[in-house]
A and B are shown apart, each in its own frame.
Chain A
Amino acid sequence: MDLKKRSAYYKPFFFGVPSLMWQILFFYIPLLCVVVLSFSGPTLFAYFKPFGEAQYIRIIMRSLLLALFNGVVCTVIAYPLAYFLVFKAERLKNLLLFLIILPFWNSFLLHISAWIFVLDRHGVLNNILMWLGMIHEPLHVLNSVTAVCIMMVYFYLPFVVLPLYATLERLEVRLIESSLDLGATWWQTVRKVLIPLTMPGIRSGFFLVFIPSFGEFAIPEFMGGDKEMYVGSVVSRLVLGTQTAGAGAAYTVVSSLALIVVSGGIYWALSRKAISSEL
């Protein structure tokens, strides 16, 4: 009896083992490997020398700034959109939501090639603007920070719309109405009631954009030319280069630490603004 009971207890555990092993072996150990590798061979500073240490720090700062910009812009654009979808779209709601999700599931290289078409010197945008007579010389949008920013916002926008939509759908509209009834202006209502109530959605949307866009490397590679480097491109070059894998790992560790610290700070700042709807 005892033996049977024990085997009945242990057997299911063996079904759980493969996935736990998989997760540890191919997720946690690799992360550990990055740390181990970062201490192997010549230190990061050996590779800093040719560029100067300041250059690497500046790249981290620039990536953080780009991620922050992207997170803020996406949230600011997505908020009214999600609001529209929840409260005004009515019958078109599902269709419009579907149209937001759709591009998000396509390979993003595909989006990149589409935007190259639009922004190129001979691209659609320049042709249209010249035809309208607004400009006389083609604009050089491609291979600039502007192109990187446009592409980033374009690609990450759906990531924010979905969590915001989910939060706004659960919003107690009566709270907003009572705020207005009690004499608050619409701006006060937005600032003191609407935003704090929907803070969980804003926060998760922001981080769904902020964190991946910090490590983004294909967008800067293709849209930004090689004038401006970002963390993703530096890491990929170092890691895939010969002899520099250790430095690449070290750079990954350093930039991840920077990301964790900044994310923690932003999370704390945003959480302070949140209020619960259960009064």
Chain B
Amino acid sequence: MRTHNIFARFSNLLFVLLIYAFLYIPLVVLVLFSFNKAQFPAPWNGYTLFWYQELWQSTHVWLAFYTSCVVATSAVVISLLLGIGLMLYCMHSKRVAHLMNLFYVNLVIPEVVLSVGLLSLFALCSIPLGIPTLIISHTVLGVGYVVPILYVRFKSIDQRLIESSLDLGATTTQTFLRIILPLLRPSLVMGGLLVFILSFDDFVLSYFCAGSTAQTLSLYILSMLRSGISPVVNALSAILLLLSSCLVLIFCSLSIRSRLF
């Protein structure tokens, strides 16, 4: 008890509340101003849904949203397939552990360096930039998350389950499909969701690898921000905020305890 009294000195409720205010006030302001009748520099001028209507009718937004969805979904599917394949290999070879280290670097490297690398690779091989290059770059990021998540789960599987399945006459493929994959399912869902959100929100990789033809939602927001603030950005932000909050809510309810770090 005494410990806690002593630490009250440097971690009290007021401090914590201030941090939460710091984190959330800008977002609240952003959402509030999406309902403002007047354009930004003007103060509050009454309530309207006009900007949402404008957003709904904008073909650019829908196109960008579609591109983002295509890229994110493809990145999820490819990185999960790659991860599952690697786990199948893991099942057979015990010495695979050091190969896993190959994948941990993805999370540590600054994204700008990776983007420059991918861009120079595409330039050297003269691959035109577009949706395929976007998918490739997002999958690289995705694999960096999916592989460690799957591997941690895979290691925690009771080896006896695999052994008894093999002893009872199942082939390795059957064992993998019937025993390991169902056990990996929570991690697959978690990894997939994570990659989807990351890819959907990613800005740096998209900025470098999109070229001039493909435009994701982040790049669309960027172009809108460059051309000056419009309440349409706020409306879009408010909707995105809601969407990703829902995804995070699912993500957290899936597993609050198992953490990324």
Q: Which A residues are within 8 Å of any B CB, using their own CB? A: 8-9, 12-13, 15-20, 22-24, 26-34, 36-37, 77, 80-81, 83-84, 87-88, 94, 96-103, 105-118, 120, 122, 124, 127, 154, 157, 162-163, 166, 173, 176-177, 180, 186, 189-190, 204, 207-208, 211-212, 214-215, 217-218, 222, 231-232, 235-236, 239-240, 245, 248-249, 252, 256, 259
Contact = CB atoms under 8 A, between A and B. Distances in A.
A240 B208 CA distance: 8
B204 interface: yes
B106 to A, nearest CB: 6
A154 B19 CA distance: 9
6 contacts: A16-B86, A32-B117, A34-B120, A84-B16, A120-B40, A177-B3
Given A114-B27, A118-B29, A127-B43, A26 B240 contact: no
Nearest to A205: B261
Contact of A99 (B12, B23, B108, B109): B23
B123 interface: yes
B4 A87 contact: yes
Assign chain B's interface to a size class: 35 or more
Nearest to B90: A16
A20 B13 CA distance: 48
B90 to A, nearest CB: 8
B96 interface: yes
A163 B6 contact: no
Indicate the member of B110, B121, B136 with the most A CB atoms within 10 Å: B110
Contact of A204 (B4, B9, B261): B261
A236 B26 CA distance: 28
A236 B11 contact: no
Interface in B35-89: 40-41, 43, 81-83, 85-86, 88-89
B25 interface: yes
A102 B245 CA distance: 6
B125 to A, nearest CB: 9
B19 A81 contact: yes
Contact of B29 (A31, A114, A176, A189): A114
Given A109-B203, A163-B261, A186-B6, A37 B29 contact: no
Given A12-B88, A26-B140, A176-B3, A33 B25 contact: no
Nearest to B96: A16
Contacts of B30: 110, 113-114, 117
B113 A256 contact: yes
A43 to B, nearest CB: 16
B2 to A, nearest CB: 6
B129 to A, nearest CB: 11
Contacts of B10: 80, 83, 190
B119 interface: yes
Contacts, number: 253
B144 to A, nearest CB: 8
A232 to B, nearest CB: 5
B20 A99 contact: yes
B229 A177 contact: no
B234 interface: yes
Contacts of B23: 99-100, 103, 154, 157
Contacts of A235: 112, 116
B208 A112 contact: no
B154 to A, nearest CB: 13
B113 A105 contact: no
Contacts of A18: 81-82, 85
B9 to A, nearest CB: 7
B195 interface: no
B160 interface: no
A13 to B, nearest CB: 6
A173 B7 CA distance: 12
A84 B8 CA distance: 9
Contacts of A108: 201, 203
B7 A83 contact: yes
B139 interface: yes
Indicate the member of A31, A109, A111, A218 with the most B CB atoms within 10 Å: A109
B117 A236 contact: no
A196 B139 CA distance: 38
